[in-house]
Structures are given as structure tokens and as C-alpha cells.
Structure 1
């Protein structure tokens, strides 16, 4: 344990001992001077801190200093009442203040007590209470502001975390100060009571037990009481003032001395007005010579400050122009223009209320939830979405860009609701503006708020505009997740996995697979809507098969088979049944025979006519599943799954291709059609 830490612990123990054990006068004098010194240090530190959190230990320190002062009060009271003296410091302070007149000295002391208790202590207590209340009330707003800056890309995840911690610390500090100010108030009250006890009981003890004459008893115990009270009230006054300074600080960027002088004298011309007013005051019976000197000093100070301000302004302007000119010449300034946001969401001016929290918009909060949802579903951290308005777009239009390329557009009417039919022919014709649901392309209508209840009773699915936009964003990001997963993002996932599975990661990368090759495997899974959240299983598979091949396409197939439990759960119903379209043996044989193997990988080489026949047959059979509102799934053997998917990607990208090895044995597969060719 460090010496400083040990000294604090010993100090607390000594304070407790002082409440019980009598102390000699010499030691009391040392401790009283130490108390004044500590109080002076505290107020100086409070004046020089730039923010309240720089002195976050103040509430606890306030308690310890208050306890120390009360322990000294108990010790000096014991010494005064038992021995009629309490050391040289108490006697000197009492004699200096009384000055031969006990009544005047006592009145002066009472005034000091009143100032400390009624003015500084009461004010600090009230300010602490209000600051604590407003700090707690402002926490949700500050947290939302941090989330908004994070989603807008203005700050990083690390900066957001630091700002959240600072908000929490500020709330904790103000809450602690609210409670600590009660210690100061209690200390002031205890000081008054101790003074009354010292005088009354001191006079009684002096006359009855010590045999002093009445006049001598009054002089002696009044002097000692005033001296003791003064030695206690000076530190109490300093600590109370420090408390007031700490709780009234309002987030300045400099210490108290700099801010007071800078802000108080920031308008030098006002000193001329003050000088004129003081000079006119001298024309009254007030001392003309004295007021004239003060007026000259004020006017001279204003002149000096005004010249200093002018001298400071000129270089600043020149310096700013020079810096701006130099920045425009540097290549770094041009390079900054080349940076590109991963995801951008732009919207027309009529959709500004979607993102403006002051108008009730919650798009920022929804995007935060989208990022969390996709992290759970896909296993990747979606980059921050940059949100901005664009006057080049139509008022109700929005568009989504990924890596600078437009990938989706849509249009919403903020004063309407989107109603989607339940899949039946409705003859009554719900009034509204015909459109398509942007995420899935379903036919829909924009209806007014008055028709919302009627549409819901008719079986329509009614969605508000913010939900339409957030659903569209979610689906588009899902479809392009494999594009968002680059090598840098893959490295972050690997580093995160390495914290829990270091040996597993070392067996896979950087040898035999580089980060780029791991990224290709993961992107292949995301491209087919397979979550990569279960990285341990994925890396276990890569560790097993990467020694045999470094073909990322083939490694992706092995990983899919190892994720059979996940894939089965993703596509089967609750009763473990699955309706699929199967591939005939003839088609599988045809595909297998036309797989070309090269040193750069394998690929399917079919003549155009055969390709078209297979695609047409699959499209025809898949339509049967879609009519039954089933997911379009084609089931085939593991040997051709990869090549069949490559064949369909351009024409039927939404058809799911599964192999037998990707399904658990307990799945009840029901074939609704067979892919065949003539």
C-alpha cells in the first residue's frame, strides 16, 4: 500500500480517537493550524478546477474535513471546560478578536457564524439540491444526444462511451454533493450549539469549581470560546465557500480566476461608464478626492484593456487567414474529400420530421435498434448510418447508399399510413393512393388517419411511415451485409473471437488462411442470408478443412454443413416440416458432368440452352411454393449445391438452395415439385 493511501487511513482513525481521548494544548494548536491549512488548500483547488469532475472526491473530502473539525471542537471544548485553557492558538485568536472588550468580540464572532450559516451554507445547500435534480432530469436527453451524434457519425463508439461515462459521473457527483451539503449545514448548527455550551457551562465551572470571580470567569471563558469558535469557523467558512464554488461552476473551460477576470472585463468601455458614475458621486458631500482617484483608476483600466483587446484581435485574424490558406494548399485537405461513408440515408425536406427529435421524430433511435437487431441476427456490427437531408430529392423521397452507391429508394407520406391488403380481392376499394411497400414490393395504399381503424377492421396491415422506412432500411442492409463486411471488419471479428478462443484463431489465421480468405468465406454466408454470429463453429470447420483446400467457395460449403442446426431452424416450421422443390437425378448428373476444375477454382460450364431449361424448370416449380405462401427452397445434393446457386444468382436470386447435408435428420421434407429437363 502506498504511503499516501496509508496516511489517509491513519488520519481517519486519528479523527475517531480525538472524539474520545483528551489531547494536550500543544497538540491541539498543531491540529487547529493543520485544519486551517487543509481548508485553504481545498478552496484554492476548487477555484482552479476547470470542471466539477476534476475534483470528484470533494463530497467525500467534505465529510472527512467536517468530521475532523467536529473532533477538534470536542477536544477544545473538553480542554476549555476541564482546564480553563485550550492551547496558544485558541487563546491568541480569542484575545485578538475581543481586543479587551468581550461583548464586542462576541458580537463579531456571532456575525461570522450568521454569515457562514445563513448566507453561504444555506445557499450552497440549495444550489446543490437544484443541481442534483436538474442533472438527473437531463440524463435521458444527454444520452439521446450522444446516440444521435453516434448515428450521425460525428463521434466514434469510443468517444460515445466516454461521453456516457462522463454524464453518469456528473449525475453521481451532483447527487453526492446534494447529500454532502447537509454535512456543512449540520456542522454550522453544531458550531453554534458548542459556543453556547462553552460560555454557559464555562462560566458555571469557572465560578463553582475553579473559584474564579464572576468578572474573571466571563473574560476567560468568553475569550476562549470566541477563540475556539473563530479557529473552527474560519475553516468552516472556507469549506462552505469551496462548496458553493464547486456546485455553482457551470462547465467552464478554464479555472475560476481566468473566467472571472476574462468575462468581467470583456467590455472595457463599460469601465468608462463606471468611472463617470463614481466621479459624479464625488460631487455630493462624499469625499471628492477619493472618488476622483477611483474614477481615474477605472478609466485607466478600461483604456489599457481596450488596447489589449485590439492588439489581440489583429494577429488572430491574420493567423486564421494564414492557417486556412495553408490548409487549402496541403494534400491532406484534398484527401479528406475522398473519404466515403459506409451507409448513407438521405431524404427530402418533407421527411425532416422523421429525424428531428424536436418534432417527435425517432428515426435515430430506430437505427440504433436496427444495428443491435442485425448484430444479433447476422453476427456483424453494422457501420454507423450517416443521416442527412438532400434538397435534390423530391420532398417525400428517400434513398439509401452503401459505399457511395445507391441501392434503394422509396417514398413515404408522413401524414398517411401504409395499408397492405391481407391477400384477398377486395371489391369495396379502400380509398387511398396506390403504391408498393418498399421493402418487399407488396401492393399497398397510402390512407389517411381517418381510415386507419376501418382498414384494420377490414384485415389490412396498417403501418406508420417511420416503421415503413426502418423496415426498408433493415431489409436493404440485410441484402448487402456481405458488401459491408470488409477485411477491416473481419479483422475486428477475429480479434473479438480471439479474446475467448485464442488457440482456435491461431490455428486458422494468418496461416493457412489470410484475413482476406476468411472474409470471403464469411461474405459468402452473408450473401445467402446465413448468420455468422456462431464464429466458433465456423472457425472450427475452417481449422479442419483449410489444411486440405484454400478454395473459399468450397470452404464455405463445408461451413454451411457444420451450421446445419442453425440452417434447419431458420427454414423449417415448428413441426420440423419443410416444403421444397427437389432436383432430379438427371439434372444433378448433367450439372456434375459440366463442372470444370482449374488451378484457380471450379466453375460450371453449361451450354446456354441447358442453362435456360434448368432455370425455367426451377422457376415453374418454385411458383407452386409461392402460391402456397411458402419460402422458395430448392433441395439438392451437396456436390452441386454451390454450382446450382451460382447458376440461379442472376435470374432467381431470392430462391434458397439447400443441400441434404445442411438439414438435420429429423426434418420432415415434403417435395412439391421436381426440377427436370427434357
Structure 2
């Protein structure tokens, strides 16, 4: 286990190992502080102003030639150092202007004199106008736009970061990439998000630099007038002309590079954190493209040929950049030649590979159970962020297997960027069966019907049962419980909805494969029963239909011994799955009754009026229910269910055994909470009391 080297160790390594790129940052800071504190000769000012111009052009060109965001990750740092460099040059030039400005236009160096005289023709009024225009363009247009771009990009990039990480995990789980590639992609996503956060703050440097440029010019003009008139006995006109031109030249020579840097800030919208220090990033990324050095050197050398410009400074720096570009280009060409020579060896020559033909492996099968989530719900299923939804889904499948009688398919979870950030979607065989909305960090206060007051929050409905509810903040949780609300977190909301849908669609989840696995499980304890029954006595498809019919009516299939014994007895002479289901229900009557009415107490049920029972018996033997009778039956059944639920009693309709299948199929779609039970399914030991009657007005 090795620790990362400290700053002192890395500095010692740079001094002893010859890697002077690591010293670029400290040296630049020392130079900046020195320019602010120590007086500089005019030649040094000329050279530093020239370097400032070259640096801004180089940054702009690097930003333009950058093909990917990660290619210039040091841009916010470069922006900070270039801003500090300009401000320190303003301080140094202000000192020289105010101390030596009375001696003439070249008192602050050739560069300031050239910008003050040549660019504005020696007219300080024109210079003020040009300077104000440049500052306005920089401050109001480029800087403001770049800051807005950085702010919006930071917001969207940070919001999309969890989704990108989930996509990487999905590719890794699917075998499309290996662990090393996944690690690199995760690092790239993290670095990109960090960059946007840095750019949002770095854009403020440019805005502050523009404001500081205006203030420095005003201070130079006012200070120059006072010093010239008071200390050097200059008249107002001469002092105004001399010091204003010097202040304008100083402002222009700083604002033009600032304008170029602001333009680069608008082009580059990338920032990442790497393992390199700041100096290594800046030197390594600024001086790697020979074309940038050639063009920058040409521009700087060309400026040195303009009459009135300090030829030596511009030509020296331009020639140096061109020389460095040639060295880098030669080195790159040598590396490319070596690589080409290595690739041309006989061992490296291979036959071109053809794209593989399509196969059955390319067919993507739909998931039996799927949960798609928006990117803001990713923390609920991310174990690294203590997401509890995965554990709850495992618990749901285990509870389902124990209560219903077979193992539900695995729930495949994936993020879906097409969904709204807080939405989720539950699919069965690729088809949506439910959807909802959840807010991690908030709580859902569900109104069970007897609360004592309202709650502030976002009104909604419980996605599982449709009860009125409110999304509230954590601070309101105890108050909601005191008011009688049922308070659950976002993970519980999704898990409850998923559990409800799995239970209600249990019949569709029981496929032929699940039935065979269920028979294999029973066969380990009773192999003879399975051998004699399937497929000799009853086909696997018929057994599946019987089990699905039981599940559709909410009857668990845990008691497979009773189910199989009943089918073994009646299947040789009864082939219809519906009749077999009715016979199986009779055998399971005690368990069905116990499920609806736990214990051995009185059974409070809904009954049928005798006249309606006769009409239904006639309809059963004839062509079916008349539309008017069906509508009246459904309306009165709905009223009876409401009355039962208001009294806190289960909604169970008790009918004759012959009527039960027809009424169950008819009422199941409109009133899924109503269970239809036959008299033959009720054990003789149970006491029945009819609390509500259907059909009194038929």
C-alpha cells in the first residue's frame, strides 16, 4: 500500500529529476507577487506584456483545437493565473506610470507607449472610447454569455452524472466492457462533472477582471493628474494628455488579452481533476500541439514587424515559439515513424477482420419483470449510496414465494433517461403495468381516511392503492404521524407499489417454466405423485391454466399436495380447466376461508337476494346476463363493497357454488377487491352472518 507523494516530496522530485514543469505553478506565483511588490524596469514590463498577449492567443488556439472536453482540463486554472498575471502587470505598470509618467510617453515602456499612441493615434479621447467599447464587449457580451453557459452546463452535467454511471454499470454487467474500461469511464464522468462546477466559479474571474480594468484606468488618470500637477508642476492640459494616454495604453494592453481569454472561456466548457499538479497540467497541455506554437509564434513575430512596436521583444518571443514548435513537431514525427516501423514488421501484419454475422445471441429477450427509474431515483438502488430498495425487492420476492407458493422472476432494474427524473415504471414482459413518482429525501404522508388536519407539501396519490397523500419534508414527519397519516419513505413507496403489482399479476408471472420448477420442487418430496400425474393424467399446460385461475382469484398455490391430489382424482374424467379449478377450490375451501376470515370467529359477508339469485340462475342456464341486469348488479355490488369497507369488514360475496365462477369473472374486472366465495367452500364449523344484501331493488 503506497501513499500519494506530498507537495514537498514532489517538489524535491522535480528539482532532482529535472521535471521543471512541476515548478511552473510556484514560479508563476512568485513572479506575480514580485510584480506587485517590486518595481520593474521598462524592458521587463515590455517582455511581460508581450508574454501576456502570447499566452492569451495560445489559450484561445488550444481551446479551438481541443477535440474532447478532457483535452484541456487545466483551463480554469489557466484562467485564474492569466487573470492574476494581468492584474499584477496593471499594478506594476501603474507604479511606473505614476512615478515616471512626467518624463514622457515611453516612461512605462515601449508596449504601453505603442498601445497609447499607435492604436489610438495619440488621441486620449479616442483611446477612452475604444477602451470603454472593449470593456463593454468583454463584460456584457462574452463574459456574461460564458458565465451563463458554464452555469447551465454545470447544472445539467451534475444532474446527468448518476445516469451516466448507471449506464457504465449496465455495460459492465452486460459484458460489453471490462472492469478497467469501466473504471476509466467512471473517472472521466467524475472529472467532467468536477470541471463544470469549477467553470461556473471560474467565469467570475473574468467578470471581476473587466471591472478591475475600468477602475484601474480611472485611478491612473485621476492619480496621474494629481501627481503631475501637484508634484511636477505640470499644467492641466499636459498632465491630462500624458497620463491619460499612458493609462489608456496600460488599459488596452491588458484588456485585449482579457478579451481573448474571455473568448476562450466561451469556447471551452470542460474541466476535470487529474492526478497531475497544476503546473504539470498547464505546461503539458499548453505545449503539446506544434500547430498552436507555430501560429502563436507567427502572430507574435508579425506583431513585432509592425512599425512602432518593440521589435526585439516580439521577434524574440515569436521566434522562440516557432523554434519550440519545430522541436515538438520533429519529436512527434520521430515517434510516429518508430511506431509505423514497428507496425510494419511481419509479425504485426494480420489479416483484416470481418464483422461477425448476426446470430441468435443478438436477439434481446424482454424481461419478465422490469423496473425502470429516472436518474434522481438511482440512489435508491445504488448500494454505494446506501440504497435500500434492492434489499426490499429481495425481501418482496422471498415474501411472495412464502405466501403465494412460487418464486417470482428476478426484477431487472435499469435507468431510463426518457423518464422524468423522479418517475419510475414497472413493466411485465416489456409492457408497463404501473408507474409512479418518488422523491428521495422526502416522505410520503398517506391519508388512510381518518386524519385530523392537512399538511403542507406536494399533493399526490399513493401509487399502490390510490389513497390521497402528500410529499413532505423530513422535518414534517413527526407532525404527520401525530395527525394520523401513514408516513413512508421513497424506497418504501416504490417497493410497496412493486409488491402490489406482483401480487395482482401473479397469474401472468406463473409461466410454464415456473410450473415445471414447482413440480421439480414437489417431486423431491413426492416423486411418485409427479410421475403419475404429469403428463400421464394431466398435461402441463392444463395444470398451468388451473394454477393461473386460482392465482387470478387471489388463492395461493402453496398447498400443492392438495391441488395435485385433487387433480389426480378428477382429471381422468374432467378435462375443462375451469371445472378443475372449481373442484380444486372446494378442496382448498378451508384455506380460502381462513385467508379471507382469519381465526374461527363469525364471517360477516355480502349476500344475494333470493329473487336476484333466481335471475342469475336462469341467466347461467341461458344466454347470459342482460345488459340492464348486469349494470344494476355491478352498481349494487359497488355500494355493498363500500358499506363493508366503511364498517371495516372484508368485501366477500357468498353465493351458490354454481353461480360463483360466473359472478367472479364478471365482478373481478370492475371490483378487484371483492372476493366471491361459494357456500360449498365454507367449512361447516364457521358461522356466517350476512351484513349486506345485493339485489333488494332488482
TM-score by length of 2: 0.50
Aligned 1:113-128 pairs, distance under 5 A: none
TM-aligned CA distance change 1:495 to 1:430, over 3 Å: same
In the alignment, what sits opposite 2:386?
A: 360
Describe the SS at the equivalent of 1:346: strand
Counterpart for residue 667 of structure 1 = 686
After superposing on structure 2, the runs of 4+ consecutive aligned residues of structure 1 that deviate more than 3 Å are 152-155, 306-315
Matched, 1:372 2:398: yes
Of the three residues 477, 484, 502, the one matched with 2:509 is 484
Distance change (3 Å), C-alpha of 1:448 and 1:607 = same
Deviations 1:192-234 (A, max 9, x none): xxxxxxxxxxxxxxxxxxxxxxxxxxxxxxxxxxxxxxxxxxx
Where in structure 2 are the equivalents of 1:243-642 lying within 5 Å?
Answer: 314-315=349-350, 321-322=353-354, 325-326=355-356, 329-334=357-362, 336-337=363-364, 339-427=365-453, 429-595=454-620, 605-642=624-661
Secondary structure of the corresponding residue to residue 500 of structure 1: coil
Tell me, in whole angstroms, the C-alpha distance in 2 between the residues paired with 1:357 and 1:489.
29
Displacement after TM superposition at 1:650 (Å): 2.9
Aligned residue pairs, count = 365
Name the CA distance, whole Å, in 1 between partners of 2:629 and 2:494.
42
* Distance apart, 1:513 and its partner CA: 1.4
- CA deviation profile, 1:44-103 (whole Å, cap 9, x unmatched): xxxxxxxxxxxxxxxxxxxxxxxxxxxxxxxxxxxxxxxxxxxxxxxxxxxxxxxxxxxx
Residue pair 2:444, 2:489 contacting (<8 A) in 1 also: yes
Could you say which residue in structure 1 is the equivalent of 2:144?
none
| Equivalent pair of 2:342/2:348 in contact (CA under 8 Å) | no
Deviation, 1:403, is 0.5
Q: 1:532 and 1:520 mapped to 2: Cα distance?
A: 12
**What SS class does the counterpart of residue 639 from structure 1 fall into?**
coil
Counterpart mapping for 1:184-223 below 5 A: none
Residue 620 of structure 1: CA displacement? Answer: 2.1
- Deviation per CA, 1:444-481, whole angstroms, max 9, x where unpaired? 11110011122222222111111111111111000111
Give the deviation of 1:381 after TM superposition.
1.0
Question: Shift of the alpha carbon at 1:674?
Answer: 1.4
1:311 and 1:530 mapped to 2: Cα distance? Answer: 72
Q: For the residues of structure 2 that align with 1:507 and 1:364, how far apart are their CA atoms?
A: 41
Equivalent residues in 2 for 1:166-185, closer than 5 Å? none
Q: Note the C-alpha offset of 1:425.
A: 4.9
CA contact (8 A) 2:451 2:485 kept: no
Residue aligned with 1:380, SS: coil
Q: Tell me: CA distance 1:310–1:383, structure 2 relative to 1, closer, same or farther (3 Å).
A: farther
Conserved? CA contact 1:153–1:384, under 8 Å: no
Q: Distance in 1 between matches of 2:600 and 2:609?
A: 26
Aligned match of 1:651 = 670
**8 Å CA contact retained: 2:451, 2:484:** no
Distance 1:420 1:330 in 2: 51
Distance 1:536 1:548 in 2: 20
How far apart, CA to CA, are the structure 2 residues paired with 1:619 and 1:519? Answer: 32
Q: Name the SS for the 1:565 alignment partner.
A: helix
Separation of aligned partners in 2, 1:367 and 1:311: 57
Q: Within 1, Cα distance between the matches of 2:386 and 2:529?
A: 48
SS at match of 2:535: coil
- Counterparts in 2 of 1:442 and 1:313: CA distance versus 1, 3 Å: farther
Q: Deviations over 1:94-135 (max 9, x none)?
A: xxxxxxxxxxxxxxxxxxxxxxxxxxxxxxxxxxxxxxxxxx
The CA distance in 1 between the partners of 2:381 and 2:396, in whole Å, is 15
Residues 516 and 419 of structure 1, relative CA distance in 2, 3 Å threshold: same
Question: Is residue 622–residue 632 contact of structure 1 (8 Å, CA) maintained in 2?
Answer: yes
Contact 2:586 2:681 in 1 (8 A): yes
Normalised by the size of structure 1, how large is the TM-score?
0.51
Deviation at 1:673, TM superposition (A): 1.3
Residue ranges of structure 2 left out of the alignment (5+ in a row): 1-168, 176-337
Q: Deviations over 1:541-599 (max 9, x none)?
A: 111111221111111111111112211221114452222101123222222222359xx
Deviation of 1:509 after TM superposition, in Å, equals 1.8
Structure 2 vs 1, CA of residues 418 and 314 (structure 1 numbering), >3 Å: closer, same or farther? farther
Q: Tell me, yes or no, if the aligned pair for 1:153 and 1:385 is still in contact at 8 Å.
A: no
1:311 to partner: Cα distance:
6.1
Give per-residue Cα distances to partners, 1:637-670, cap 9 Å, x unaligned: 1111001112213322321101112222222322
Shift of 1:362: 2.1
Q: Distance in 2 between matches of 1:392 and 1:498?
A: 46
Q: Secondary structure at the residue paired with 2:631?
A: helix
Distance (Å, rounded) in 1 between the aligned partners of 2:347 and 2:422:
50
Deviates more, 1:381-390 or 1:417-426: 417-426
For 1:561 and 1:365, how far apart are their aligned partners in 2? 38
Tell me if the contact between 1:624 and 1:672 (Cα under 8 Å) persists in the aligned partners.
no
How far apart, in 2, do the equivalents of 1:425 and 1:362 lie? Answer: 29
Report the secondary structure of 2:406's partner residue.
coil
- Partner of 2:659, secondary structure, is helix
